[in-house]
Amino acid sequence: AQRVTQPEKLLSVFKGAPVELKCNYSYSGSPELFWYVQYSRQRLQLLLRHISRESIKGFTADLNKGETSFHLKKPFAQEEDSAMYYCALKMDTGRRALTFGSGTRLQVQP
Amino acid sequence: ETGVTQSPTHLIKTRGQQVTLRCSSQSGHNTVSWYQQALGQGPQFIFQYYREEENGRGNFPPRFSGLQFPNYSSELNVNALELDDSALYLCASTMGGLDTGELFFGEGSRLTVL
């Protein structure tokens, strides 16, 4: 069965520091990977997906099939990046619903 | 454009009771999926409805059931509530059937089972 692992429950950095939120997955096929974000008092929303290969709000994520990882990175953290981040996987066959990791809370301190 | 709306926002039930949660999909979306999010966990897929038919289901028992209506709104019903059913229930909508990627979420219904 497919699985998404986010090893860190909490990541605390200072403003201007680099950020890397880790995401590892297990799935034998060719998945699509996503990062969803939930800001305080807002609903869960899509941040980026690997197939679009774009940078959103300064965040990037590269799918590494060899290491089965999809880490989220930003070179210089901003206070407004503080939020809950979820990595999610969609299988290439069968059930196409999203499988989410347990999430990482990012705290950016001033 | 109207986003996904869910009702009620909070509710408390006792073990063994039944509950119905409601969701109005975003304008123009014909696919609705439901997720259960326990405290400290990520959302877990319950099932999905496309054009009024269930077309995907996660590892949830049959006492979790749903409906989708012609206007694409949806209901999640849970019978014989158990304490472990206490969670935030999220509804998400999108266009298309199985090939969904970007989901538009509601704010959720928080269910407490005593």
Does B100 contact A43 at a Cβ distance shorter than 8 Å?
Answer: no
pLDDT in single tens digits along all 114 residues of chain B:
679 999 999 999 999 999 999 999 988 888 999 999 999 999 999 999 988 999 889 999 999 999 999 999 999 999 999 999 999 999 999 887 545 568 999 999 999 999
Condensed to tens digits (0 to 9), the pLDDT of residues A30-54 reads 889 999 999 999 999 999 998 887 8
As a whole number of angstroms, the distance between CA A49 and CA A87 comes to 10
Name the DSSP letter for residue B102.
-
Q: Which amino acid is at B97?
A: G
As a whole number of angstroms, the distance between CA B59 and CA B28 comes to 29
As a whole number of angstroms, the distance between CA B25 and CA B4 comes to 5
Q: Does A96 touch chain B (CB under 8 A)?
A: yes
As a whole number of angstroms, the distance between CA A72 and CA A59 comes to 7
Write the residue in B40, B90, B106 that is nearest to A102 by C-beta.
Answer: B40
Does A90 contact B56 at a Cβ distance shorter than 8 Å?
Answer: no
